Structures are given as C-alpha cells and as structure tokens.
Amino acid sequence: MRAVSTSTGDAPTRGRVLVVDDQRNMRATTAMLLRAEGYTVHEAGGGEEALATLASQPVDVLLTDLKMEPMDGLTLLRKGLETVSQLQVIVMTAYGSIETAVEAMRLGAYDYVTKPFKDGELVHRVQKAFERSKLVSAVNLFAGEFNSRHGLSALVGRSPAMHELTNRIIRVAQSDATVLVQGESGTGKELVARAVHAQSRRNKQPFVPVNCAAISETLLESELFGHARGAFTGAVKARRGLFEEADGGTLFIDEVTETSPAFQSKLLRVLQDGEVRRVGENSAIKVDVRTVAATNRDIEQEVAEKRFRQDLFYRLNVVTLRVPPLRERLEDVPLLAEHFLERANARSIRKKRLSQSAVDHLMTYSFPGNVRELENLVEQAAALAEADELLPEDFPLRPKRLADSNGTTRVPTTTPQPSLAQVVDEAERRAIQSAVERHPEDLAMVAEELGISSTTLWRKMRRLGIRTPASS
Ligand SMILES: Nc1ncnc2c1ncn2[C@@H]1O[C@H](COP(=O)(O)OP(=O)(O)OP(=O)(O)O)[C@@H](O)[C@H]1O
Ligand SMILES: [Mg+2]
C-alpha cells in the first residue's frame, strides 16, 4: 500500500466513508472501527444530514442503515446516487429483510451487510467497496426490472459463503451471460439457477429445467431441440423443443456432464448460433434463451479426461457459481433446520420445535448429502418424533469416521466421507470397466456377464463416464 503520512502521523487515509445510522451508539462504534482502519469517516444521524454531507464533502463509500425515520435508507441510497453517481453504497440490514437488501442492490447499492456483523466482515466489505470506487467512475446498476420475484429469498443461509454467492447471483442476473453452477449433490444448484432467473429481466418468461441424466440421449435431443413430423418412428407430430419453449426465458440444463461428446457438440452449436434445428428439419429457428447449466462433477477433470468437450465447457463457463458444500458452512445449519421445520410444521397440526442439543448434534455432522440430507433429516424427525421438542436422538446421522480416539466427535473440517451412492458408483465403475476390458468389442457380452440389460449397462456407462474403446 502507498505510504501517505498524514500530519498527525496516523495510519494513511484509505478512503472517505460516510456512516449513516439513527442509532447513535451503533453509528459511533462503526465509525470508530473504520477510523482505526485508516479511513476518514463522516457521520450522519439521518438521511437529510447525509445528503448535505454528500453535497459538500468528497465521499467514496456510503454505509447506511435501512430502517430510519423520516428518510429511509433506500431513499437515501437513491438520492445519494443522484448526487454522487460513482458513490459505492453498502446498506446495513437486519437479518430477515433480504428483500430490502436485494431491492437496495437493484437500486444500485454495491453490497449489503447483515446485522449484527462481525468487525472483520464490515471492514472487508468497506475495503472492497473502496477498491471498486477507485476502479469504476460510474456504476449504473439501475438498469433492468425492479419488480422481480425475489427468488433469492428461497436461498436460506447467512454464512459469508452464501452471502458471497447471493451477491454473485444478483450481479450475474443483470446480464445474459451463460452460467455454470457447480456444486456437490444436494447443495442447492437448482435453487441457485432459479434465483438467477428470478432476478433477471427474463423473470416474466419461462424457466425451463431439463435433466440430462434422467432421459436417454436420443430422447434428450428431441426434447431439447424438438423434432419434425416423421423424424423417427413414433414422431407422428412435429414438436417444439425445450429451447423453443424457453424462448425469452431461461433454460436450465441440469447434469450437463452426463451427456456424450456427440450431443455436446450439438448443444455447443445451438449456443453459438442462437438457433435450433429440430431433429429431421433443415431450417433453423432463432431462439432468445439464457442458459444456466449445472453439474455435480468436477467438470475440469471431465474435460481433462476428455469426457466433456473443452469448447462447450468454455462456452458454458462464462460465469461460474460455486455452491459450497454444507460442511463448509455449518453455521447455516441452525437456520436451515428451522426453515425446514417451519415448513413441516405448516403441514401438520402438531407443531414441533428444535432443542439446542439437537442443533448442536447436527452441527457435528459432515452432511455428505448436503442441504437435501438436512432437509430429509428434519422432515423425518418432525414426522416421527414422539415429543414436541426434537432431541438429538430424533436425528440419526450416518456413522462418521471422524471420531476422536476418546469417542467424542468433532466437527469435520477436511475430507468428507463418501456417501453410499458414491461408494456404489465406484464399485459399479470398477466392475463395468473390468468387464469392458475383457470384452471391448461386445457390450452385449459385458451386460450378460454383469447380469444387467444392455440398456441398463448403457445408462450406467454414460452416467459413470465409462467409454468403450469403440466410442473413444
Ligand atoms: N440454501 C437453501 N435454502 C433452502 N433450501 C435449500 C437450500 N439449498 C438447498 N435447499 C433445498 O435442498 C434440496 C436440494 O436442493 P437442489 O435440488 O437445488 O440441489 P442440487 O444441488 O440441484 O442437487 P442435485 O445435484 O442432487 O441435483 C431442495 O429441496 C432445496 O429446496
Ligand atoms: Mg439438481
């Protein structure tokens, strides 16, 4: 950092921040914290006073509370940006008012912090806002729809990782960029894709999901691209594909890595040209679709191992949204558990509640099945528990090997235990691979040896990414 000495010999000035809060204590503490970091800090007890400061003093970052009288934070935000267009605004919001924070971001706020915040978190965000103010002379986040459906509020969690993810979603949603959502199974990738759509200008148009692993490849092709009448046996009528259905909106291509290179090159062409050709049809149809793809595999490894086309990877990966596994944000567990319990309670006459010991118990777990596993655990407990207060024994967790020698468990931080599905996958992969090596030219023989049908074999091979010497 540049060493600028001030007349008082204090730490160098890093930027000018205006702190606005009608609660004097809160304001003073925040200001003190930022001064200690070397910022020049102005304070204002309300919107009018803040606007007066903005009109008379240079300010890089405005940090404002949202709930204030008579001028609220959103109004201050709007008027502040009218006064100083390159101002970076961070709003302070109480937990549970994510809608207001989102609204603030739409109005042009740079970021938000949820109260109560940790000192380090606030300092970090102010620092980032200041860096941005140096980079950008005028940021215009006004564009776009204001009345979105706030798909973000479906995403529960206030860990720093989720906060970061929410911010990225809001930003990405402003553009039409193709998005690749990566994360382990059950982390919430589909919710993220929906939130991107809900926050985007396309939110009045359809969100169309398609799961590549759920249907055979030929079917997938005609599902996505549509087909002409008579294109294949059974195609008695022409049919629009999902790309056409999603016109104007968002197409969510789930488990995109579960497709063959041949299919991938067809998909790539559609994404490049912005037009689809129905199967058995020569003419192309223009489509205006934002694509969000998802995978729970390490896609870069899939590319390295030539199971996923690199050119398609680059095409899809314009923006990556990484959804962190639940074990890396265990602080979200209590909120998520409450959220799922509330949902279960809403469907039942008997209302259950979580005991602290149950929450503590859950927080020692590594959740190989991520949020979906927690959701299932809570639903089961709510349905089966005898008493109204849910106890640790109502949440039977899968055994973990991360127990200390004295038998007490600790919060797992490193290697997650493989889920049963992963273990089974691995065993299947090995069995199939060795059978394929024995009969490289004869898949029927492989199927017979393994005691499964050829269709099942084919499906498993595709899912597990096993190729025959002939197909590679
Ligand atoms: N942050 C969250 N807040 C609330 N619910 C969540 C959150 N994340 C996930 N869920 C819930 O957990 C379940 C799994 O989420 P989702 O289907 O989006 O996961 P996924 O990553 O797509 O999983 P898969 O890879 O297995 O398809 C869903 O019921 C979803 O509603
Ligand atoms: Mg999914």
Q: In whole angstroms, what is the distance from residue 150 CA to residue 292 CA? A: 18
- Pocket perturbation via mutation, ligand 1, pick of 375, 376, 419, 463 by most ligand atoms within 8 A of CB: 375
CATH of domain 160-322: 3.40.50.300
Domain residue extents for the chain: 16-143, 160-322, 326-394, 420-464
Cα(155) to centroid(ligand 2), Å = 14
In the numeric block, which tokens belong to residue 313? 């990877």
Cα(192) to centroid(ligand 1), Å = 8
Non-local CB neighbours of 81 within 8 Å, separated by 6+ positions: 87, 89, 107, 108
Q: In whole angstroms, what is the distance from residue 401 CA to residue 257 CA? A: 31
Question: How does pLDDT run across 217-253, given as a tens digit for each residue?
Answer: 888 999 999 999 888 877 788 889 999 999 999 999 9
Question: How does pLDDT run across 377-420, given as a tens digit for each residue?
Answer: 999 999 999 899 999 999 999 875 444 444 344 444 444 566 77
Question: How does pLDDT run across 244-300, given as a tens digit for each residue?
Answer: 999 999 999 999 999 999 999 999 999 999 999 999 998 999 999 999 999 999 999
Three-class secondary structure of residue 176 per DSSP? coil
In the numeric block, which tokens belong to residue 344? 């279960």
Q: In whole angstroms, what is the distance from residue 113 CA to residue 92 CA? A: 5
Average pLDDT over residues 18-42: 94
The answer to whether 87 touches 104, Cβ cutoff 8 Å, is no
In the numeric block, which tokens belong to residue 287? 């489509």
Q: Is the CB of 78 under 6 A from ligand 1?
A: no
**What is the average pLDDT score of the chain?**
84
The answer to whether 195 touches 151, Cβ cutoff 8 Å, is yes
- Residue tagged 């590594």 (tokens): 366
Q: Is the CB of 325 under 6 A from ligand 1?
A: no
Torsion angle of alpha carbons 291, 296, 299, 301, nearest 10°? Answer: 180
User: Does residue 444 register a pLDDT over 90?
Assistant: no
For the CA atoms of the chain, what is the radius of gyration? 27
Longest dimension (CA), the chain: 85
Phi (first) and psi of residue 122, to 5 degrees = -65, -45
- Pocket perturbation via mutation, ligand 1, pick of 165, 190, 422 by most ligand atoms within 8 A of CB: 190
Q: In whole angstroms, what is the distance from residue 111 CA to residue 168 CA? A: 10
In the numeric block, which tokens belong to residue 47? 């919107």
Residue nearest to atom 25 of ligand 1 (CA): 185
0.85 exceeded by the pTM? Answer: no
CA angle 434, 438, 443 (to 5 degrees): 90
Least confident of 124-133, 187-196, 273-282: 124-133
Looking at residue 146, what is its pLDDT? 26
* Same fold flag, 16-143 and 160-322: yes
User: Distance of CA 436 to CAs 91, 361, 404, 427, 445, Å?
Assistant: 59, 45, 42, 14, 9
Looking at residue 184, what is its pLDDT? 95
Residue 148, amino acid: S
Q: In whole angstroms, what is the distance from residue 161 CA to residue 114 CA? A: 13
The answer to whether 308 touches 260, Cβ cutoff 8 Å, is no
Question: How does pLDDT run across 33-76, given as a tens digit for each residue?
Answer: 999 999 999 999 999 999 988 877 788 999 999 999 899 999 99
Q: In whole angstroms, what is the distance from residue 158 CA to residue 61 CA? A: 23
- At the top level of CATH, the class of 326-394 is mainly alpha
Phi (first) and psi of residue 231, to 5 degrees = -60, -35
In the numeric block, which tokens belong to residue 98? 């994510």
DSSP 188-249: SHHHHHHHHHHHSTTTTS-EEEEETTTS-HHHHHHHHHEE-TTSSTT--S-EE-HHHHTTTS
In the numeric block, which tokens belong to residue 108? 């042009």
Q: Which residues of 16-44 are buried (b: 16+ CB within 10 A; e: fewer)?
A: bbbbbbbeeeebeebbebbeebbbbbbbb
Residue nearest to atom 18 of ligand 1 (CA): 188
Strands 275-277 and 284-286, by their bridges, are antiparallel
Average pLDDT over residues 162-173: 89
The answer to whether 167 touches 141, Cβ cutoff 8 Å, is no
The fourth-level CATH superfamily of domain 16-143 is: Response regulator (3.40.50.2300)
Cα(363) to centroid(ligand 2), Å = 24
